[in-house]
Amino acid sequence: MRKISRSLGVLFVATVTAALVGAPPAGAAPTGADGPTRTYLVLYKQSAVPSNATDTVRDAGGEIIAAYDAIGVVVARSGNSGFADAITKDGNVEGASATDALGVKVDGVAAPAADEQAPELPNSPASDADTLSPLQWDMRQIFTPQAHAVTGGSRAVVVGDIDTGLDFNHPDIAPNYSPADSADCSSGAPAPLQPGNDRNGHGTHTAGTIAAAANGAGIVGVAPNVRIAGIKSSNDDGFFFPEMVVCSFMWAAERHLDVTNNSYFADPWLFNCRNDKAQHAIWKAEQRAIRHAMNQGVTVVASAGNESEDLTHPGIDTTSPDFPPNSEQSRDVTNACVVVPVEIPGVIGVSADGHNQQTDNDEGPDYLKAYYSSYGQSAVDVVAPGGDFFFGRNAEAPNGLVLSTWPANRPCTRRVQETTNNPTYPTAVYCYLQGTSMAGPHVAGVAALVVSRYGDLQNPQNGKMRPGQVEQYVTQTADPQPCPTSVSALYQTVTTSLGQPQACQGGTGHNSWYGNGQVNALRAVTHDTGGNG
């Protein structure tokens, strides 16, 4: 039992950040097509797109889908098998990489108008008495009900969920949905988010953990008074291709979103090796987009991944490239190879724990890191509930998993549903899942509560609170968790890629499994550092 598959509800990890320059002018049709049409990221040496980019891309046999001038990146499409070699002959180009996405070109989509239905309201408390609240062991574990007595968040705060989409008609999502801040980036250029866009379910699940409304029915999110934006950044199979990730972060930057949640890794490479020609342009373009979003005041939260891997000391990558299917290869990886977005500097990295303590004495952590969760001293800042089906089950958490919102028309193995009074949405569906994908949204929700309490809500265009400040509030108020002195032999059968038992390194203040500790919503909203800061 070394790994768990992508299909166990554990799913994905990552972050997106974006600011779109606008669709480039249409050029002549590309020439030289001699193969299948592929999508490319073209990385320019300067953080700007040259004025002649349309012509040079066309001359190389491609056409521009989106141009992100603020970071010097172009998304292009070409059927010319020699496109990458041709475009890199341009002295302005640092590199070009195929992303192997299968999107459809979107032309000239205007950004939605500003949301006029979300006035800036003061912070107000929220209730945790919805019908499914008793099933939310994860919320009680990080003290969100107590935090909600202080604040449920502010309507002036928007969280962008960069994911597989969002069922914004779900009764627990609809009250907090922000259409003006939502977008479909699955083509590499932003388009309006349409009903039924989440044909995977993962994005709706993460969004509910962040901001499901306290409306008396269903569940309650970590920040039930804030607004939620869906940013679709994958195809329907859950692949987060680089052009989608870049588009998403640029969109978040353009809209000055307060927080983004990134429960994925950017495909097709689990580890992006900056010294590999085929991956360099992808890694650097994504890094530029994420940093640009941070510079625009966006706090970026990302999950650590479900590979039970020490990200600080990687050994072998057997996952990549994960597209097209069955093209994986085993390759040695070093610290020159990183998981995006969790290992981008400034991103709040999140590992997952379960509900049940599995240590043999009182000196260990309160909760054991989930068996599947990746970790690493340089990658993980805090831990949060992600669920653990094997080692996290008890009377309060019978299946050990995290319950959240789910599209009514998507299958779910562990499904909970309620009848509503809404004739257009007669059944509200919820689903149990586990993964670091479930842990990250808890931290994104706490970050939104922090911005609601301590940010400058009257100055949204300059960022209500700087990302570094938000990170400090979240990490300094976490509950420290020491490394366990021992764990069960069965747990240790889930090994790293090198076949070694998972090992926790570091002290109580910061270690590879828990970072600074388990996120604590109450301490965060009261800025109770308890001597940690």
- DSSP secondary structure letter of residue 181: G
β strands within 255-323, DSSP E: 259-262, 272-273, 299-303, 316-317
Strand pairing partners for 183?
Answer: 231
Cα–Cα distance between 387 and 401 in angstroms, integer? 4
CA distances from 259 to 310, 416, 452 (A): 26, 29, 11
Secondary structure (3-state) at 333: coil
Percentage with pLDDT > 70 across the chain: 86
Phi, psi at 437, each rounded to 5°: -60, -30
Cα–Cα distance between 375 and 254 in angstroms, integer? 32
CA distances from 403 to 152, 167, 435 (A): 19, 16, 12
CB of 271 within 8 A of CB of 339? yes
Cα–Cα distance between 435 and 13 in angstroms, integer? 9
For the chain, how many residues are written?
533
Domain boundaries, the chain: 21-109, 133-525
Strand pairing partners for 416?
Answer: 430
pLDDT for 366-399, tens place per residue? 899 999 999 999 999 999 999 999 999 999 999 9
Cα–Cα distance between 397 and 354 in angstroms, integer? 9
Q: What is the pLDDT of residue 531?
A: 54
Cα–Cα distance between 520 and 505 in angstroms, integer? 22
pLDDT for 423-466, tens place per residue? 888 999 999 999 999 999 999 999 999 999 999 877 766 568 99
User: Alpha carbon 277 to chain centroid distance?
Assistant: 26
Q: Residue 44: CA atoms inside 13 Å, Cβ hemisphere, count?
A: 21
**Vertex 161, ends 160 and 163: CA angle to 5°?**
140
Average pLDDT in the chain: 86
Cα–Cα distance between 519 and 293 in angstroms, integer? 23
Q: What is the pLDDT of residue 112?
A: 37
Cα–Cα distance between 217 and 128 in angstroms, integer? 10
Residue ranges for the chain with pLDDT beneath 50:
1-29, 101-120, 359-360, 533
Phi, psi at 379, each rounded to 5°: -110, -30
Cα–Cα distance between 2 and 493 in angstroms, integer? 6
Cα–Cα distance between 406 and 201 in angstroms, integer? 6
Q: What is the pLDDT of residue 120?
A: 47
Task: Return the CATH number of 21-109, one of 3.30.70.80, 3.40.630.30, 3.60.20.10, 3.90.76.10.
Answer: 3.30.70.80
- Residue owning tokens 């303590």: 357
Please give the CATH number for the structural domain made up of 133-525.
3.40.50.200
Cα–Cα distance between 465 and 332 in angstroms, integer? 40
Q: What is the pLDDT of residue 1?
A: 30
Q: What is the pLDDT of residue 32?
A: 64
